[in-house]
Amino acid sequence: MNMHPSDMKLTNARRGADWWHGGVIYQIYPRSFQDSNGDGIGDLKGICQRLPYIQSLGVDAIWISPFFKSPMKDFGYDVSDYRDVDPMFGTLADFDAMLEEAHNLGIRVMIDLVMSHTSNQHPWFSESRKTRDNPKSDWYVWADPQLDGTPPNNWLSIFGGSAWQWDSRRLQYYLHNFLSSQPDLNFHNSEVQDALLDMARFWLDRGVDGFRLDTINFYFHDARLRSNPPLPPEARNASIAPMVNPYNHQDHLYSKNQPENLAFLERLRALTDEYEGRACLGEVGDAQRGLEIMAQYTEGESRMHMCYAFEFLESRPATTEVFKAVFDKLTTEAADAWPCWAFSNHDVKRHVSRWNLSAEAARLYPVLMMCLRGSACLYQGEELGLPEGDVAFEDLQDPYGIEFWPEFKGRDGCRTPLPWVTQAENAGFGDGKAWLPVDPAQAAMAVDRQEADPDAMLHHYRRLIALRQDHRALAQGDMTNMSVSGNVLSFERSIDAEWVFCAFNIGDTTAQVRTPDGDWNIASDSLGLMAPDGGALTLPGWGMTILKKAGG
């Protein structure tokens, strides 16, 4: 096993090499986390400055969204140099210092690798587009037009319109599943695979603890370029793209989710396994067969450690029936898969606003997440209970929102700067004009104000994360006996001799719950959990209980 010197400093890490298995991961969107130099953009030094705060949350790791060199057409998800830091975020030395300090504090660091595509300003693409016979001519997905000059097939871009862009140099189309400035790499070319794995090794050698792998199911395309079939209207949903986007009109059988991807994932896992305690978290972007793909991608010990699921990132309210349906399907299609659940991230409306949650509901849902089988991702500001930020059209930065405004306002509302100090300029985010405006409603919920209030959401998150960390059954155990009775969702978690019973009233009205046979005690005194009275208990609206079996 390869060991970087900074690995030795994970003295406060909760667990060893399997830290990811049930771990809690805190996502940082660096542009909006902490600005250290007054240019209005968050940076690596800002992250380093706030690491003690992250440590205080009790999470296992941070995932940092892309900070590589980029023209920032898609805010870093269009990489022009995989081996360097964009100057707006700092330098490689800043990254190394941040990584070392994180390890000193017992925090593992995962970085966001975007391997399905690059920027059109990447040197690889600049060479590839020159001619049809240069050494990198086949590193991207090029295709001749149809006889009438139209694109090779009907594939659509997630950002709207055709997924094909005409190039006047090669007189061919190139594939872009996202922006036209984000050409797709050709994974059918083994040299491309080797180059990307060599890039991953570069970061592993620097000491990173793993990768969040963007759009992992987009790596390969159908080599025959077959058109996608239509998707029936009743099967469409907005978990990947807003309903105003015709992307939802296709069943994406051929533009992604190709079987050849499995062999590459095994190569990536084999590389990761050369380094102790590393983990791969794959983002599966598919509205119709996400759990099925998750099962394939996490099967056995030779593929991804876990996959990022979209089931709770949708707009539909997360009712008891939704949770039950998701886990029933998971049991049927992906019983051995290891999911990583999230309610919010940098691509979707914050869940407090998306689900229109009351104060009581906003406290219940994260506790429920910490009790679900799988790992968990928290998005920066989620621990403050932040709602979606209000961004006027003239302040929009996201090309997605600009394209589909006003029916879809894009992703800027979940990317507004994190508020640290209520009364400070830009709520303590930084001294200069922020790249997105600070929402006054969010500023009123800043970290400093919540630190001073023991009942604030911030302390609630610390307590619920501690609950998970203190009970191995919640972090890594089996989940059994999930049932729904009206608005109450209940299930059991167990590992070895430890048994935990969980019940959540996802509704406003009082409900009665029967506990399983045995002697059960409240698992935590700090979360407002309801105590059993014999074999029964009463849950008020949005009430919950988590009970540990005596002797377990």
Tell me which amino acid residue 494 is. Answer: S
Q: Phi and psi of 376, rounded to 5°?
A: -140, 140
The per-residue DSSP string of 369-419 comes to HHHSSSEEEEETTGGGT-------GGG---HHHHHHTTT---SGGGSSPPP
Cα separations (Å) of 310 from 284, 317, 331, 349, 510? Answer: 8, 13, 16, 13, 30
Using CA atoms, how far apart are residues 16 and 391, in angstroms rounded to an integer?
42
The DSSP secondary-structure symbol of 227 reads P
Note whether 505 and 537 are within 8 A (CB): no
The per-residue DSSP string of 282-314 comes to EE---TTTHHHHHHHHT-TTSS-SEEE--TTSS
Using CA atoms, how far apart are residues 273 and 79, in angstroms rounded to an integer?
25
Closest of 96, 46, 65 to residue 202, by C-alpha = 96
Using CA atoms, how far apart are residues 242 and 345, in angstroms rounded to an integer?
15
110 CB-near residues (< 8 Å, 6+ apart): 25, 61, 62, 63, 64, 208, 209, 210, 211, 212, 279, 281
* 214 given a catalytic annotation: yes
* 191 given a catalytic annotation: no
Token pair for 352: 């407090």
Q: Which of 214, 222, 382, 492 is catalytic?
A: 214
At 145 the three-state DSSP class reads coil
Using CA atoms, how far apart are residues 353 and 243, in angstroms rounded to an integer?
18
For the chain, the 3-state helix, strand and coil shares in percent, each to the nearest 5, are 30, 20, 50
Residue 270, Cβ density class (10 Å: 0-12 exposed, 13-18 middle, ≥19 buried): exposed
Using CA atoms, how far apart are residues 86 and 67, in angstroms rounded to an integer?
6
Tell me which amino acid residue 510 is. Answer: T
Q: Which of 191, 194, 260, 274 is catalytic?
A: 274
At 159 the three-state DSSP class reads coil
Angle at which helices 190-206 and 92-104 pack, to 10 degrees? Answer: 60
**Helix intervals (H) in 166-237:** 190-206
Using CA atoms, how far apart are residues 227 and 255, in angstroms rounded to an integer?
8
Instruction: State the SS3 of 22-59.
Output: CCEEEEECHHHCCCCCCCCCCCHHHHHHCHHHHHHHCC
Note whether 343 and 382 are within 8 A (CB): yes
Question: Taking the C-alpha atoms of 462, 465, 467 and 473 in order, what is their torsion angle to the nearest 10 degrees?
Answer: 180
Token pair for 203: 């970061």
Annotated catalytic residues are 214, 274
